[in-house]
Structure 1
Amino acid sequence: MPLAPDTAPPARVLVFAAHPDDIDFGASATIAGWTAAGAHVSYCILTDGDAGGFSDEDRPGLAALRREEQIAAAGLVGVTDVTFLGEPDGYLQPTDGVLREIVRRMREVRPDVVLSMHPERSWDRIQKSHPDHLACGEAVTRAIYPAVENPFAYPELEAAGLRSFRVPWLWFYGGPAHLENRFVDVTGSEDTKIAAISAHRSQHPDVGRMQSRVRDILRENARRGGLPEGRSAESFHVVGINTDETIAGF
């Protein structure tokens, strides 16, 4: 039976992001809780991140540095499986080639839950809707249905032993607030999340302001989710893809 997202931690999770650090801002505290409960979590970063950063001295070799930062941040929340597609930062598109690699990773990991950036623009804070973020969400959405579960989509993957697979749940992070329908209580994991974000040192010209703002957002998420005063939460738009409520083929 497909995992119900409120009953138990998932066994396998695959997380997609446009850039190194996107996951840590969007979902790292939730992921830390899952790995602590025994979940195996994999990351797939779609771009090389070389258009980010604020310091000229970091420009040479920035893509390699950002990979190192992401691997370090992942380790802080219990994730050791991190892959990078290396698409150009700022130019990500849901092309056939990108979809093929996303389908490949889904079939390799065979997750209970896929996490992805959201394909819809958020007007409450436009920074959440970097064009690469939207492209990530669109590519993952196209891959998760129908491509990953269709044996006739990318038949070369099927021929290589990467069998079609039905993903039960898709969790979006970083999307429009009015679509969020899941608030995960991450109280006690705030410092872990902050440490994971701070591992991306090339991206933070004002670490103190960033940390304060992240804590404010976590408290605001908890308030919107109806949690008690003083709690912290991460927020998601959860979509059932193949559950007891869905009908195959429709």
Structure 2
Amino acid sequence: MSITHHPFAFTPREGGRVLCFTAHPDDVDFGAAGTIAAWTAAGVDVVYCVMTDGDAGGFEAEEDIASRRLEEQRRAAALVGVSEVHYLHERDGYLEPGHHVIAQVVALIRRYRPDVVLTMHPERNWDRLQKSHPDHLAAGEIVTRAVYPAAENPFAYPELEEQGLKAYKVPQLWFIAAPLERENHFVDISGTVDAKLAAIHIHASQHPDPEAMDAEVRAQLAENGRRAGAVPGVLAEGFHVVVVNGSDTFAGF
């Protein structure tokens, strides 16, 4: 499934688990839905957590846009084999890396104990600033802080230990919407691109021109394939993969 890859990147397998954290409904579909569809088809259990309700999104005023967007995300998730979606209900545009949010992320990580945590990139992308919405950057920072050191430190958020949520060392952290120079792993999604686009189409509140959106997404995926060195026509999603706890990790270092 991989084209060029981080040498120790997670290999999808029956019984594996991935926990995805994004800022808004639709972020995960633009960033990783093709890869997620391939993972779930291979027997990986994928769980979503969306931090904001997307209440500042859309192109015209809607009385209850937040509820509509949350339902769109549930339906889009189902199309790529994801049945469990959590929401933190933060306000769209106001997400900050505060401890009340980090603690919720740590709790989910300790509950699900995933092989991979996937999230937005915390570094700004100057080549395509739209990838770097402030909420995206905040989500990436929140999750990075949660993964290390909080999730694996039994003395961080002690109330979680008291609830039975024991410390857990996350093996890998995968980032979407990364600056291009950070991407070190590409996944060939040529076989799941239709599922990805179908999931994106569910977010109708955000896309006034579906045909133009399709063309732009396909062009970006084709460019990813080209940068990965694949044969022409391969469509790929790109990630910045970080091994947090590997075979050479010792005593937190």
TM-score by length of 1: 0.96
Which structure 2 residues correspond to residues 1-250 of structure 1 after superposition, within 5 A? 4-5=8-9, 7-9=11-13, 11-56=16-61, 59-250=62-253
Write the letter of the residue equivalent to 1:50.
Answer: D
Matched letter for residue 86 of structure 2: T
Q: Which letter maps to 2:52?
A: T
User: How far, CA to CA, are the matches of 1:47 and 1:140 in structure 2?
Assistant: 14
Secondary structure at the counterpart of residue 27 of structure 1: helix
Identical-residue share of aligned pairs (%): 58
What is the CA–CA distance in structure 2 between the aligned matches of 1:63 and 1:7, rounded to whole Å? 35
Deviation at 1:190, TM superposition (A): 1.2
Report if aligned partners of 2:10, 2:115 keep a CA contact under 8 Å in 1: no
Deviations 1:52-98 (A, max 9, x none): 00122xx2111110000000000000000100000000010000100
CA contact (8 A) 1:119 1:135 kept: yes
Relative to the length of structure 2, the TM-score reads 0.95
Distance of 1:75 and 1:7 partners within structure 2: 22
Q: Gaps (5+ residues) in structure 1? A: none
Q: Partners of 1:11 and 1:249 in 2: how far apart?
A: 23
Cα root mean square deviation, aligned: 1.2
Distance across 2 between alignment mates of 1:6 and 1:32:
15
| 1: CA distance, partners of 2:231 / 2:117 | 28
Instruction: State the SS of the aligned residue for 1:237.
Output: strand
**Helix, strand or coil for the counterpart of 2:96?**
coil
Question: How far is the alpha carbon of 1:188 from its aligned partner?
Answer: 1.7
C-alpha contact 1:242 1:248 (8 A) present in aligned 2: no
Paired AA for residue 92 in structure 1: L
- Equivalent pairs counted in the alignment come to 246
Quick check: 9-18 or 41-50, which moved more? 9-18
Instruction: Measure the CA separation in 1 of the matches of 2:243 and 2:85.
Output: 25
CA distance in 1: counterparts of 2:84 and 2:154, whole angstroms? 26
Shift of 1:48: 1.0
Aligned-partner SS, 2:218: helix
Q: Equivalents in 2 of 1:142, 1:20: separation in Å?
A: 22
Alpha-carbon deviation of 1:249?
Answer: 2.4
Question: What is the deviation of 1:191?
Answer: 1.0
Q: Distance in 2 between matches of 1:207 and 1:41?
A: 27
In structure 2, what residue type is equivalent to 1:123? Answer: W
Distance of 2:103 and 2:234 partners within structure 1: 40
Deviation at 1:136, TM superposition (A): 0.2
Q: CA deviation at 1:6?
A: 5.3
**Alpha-carbon distance change, 226 to 245 in structure 1, aligned in 2, over 3 angstroms:** farther
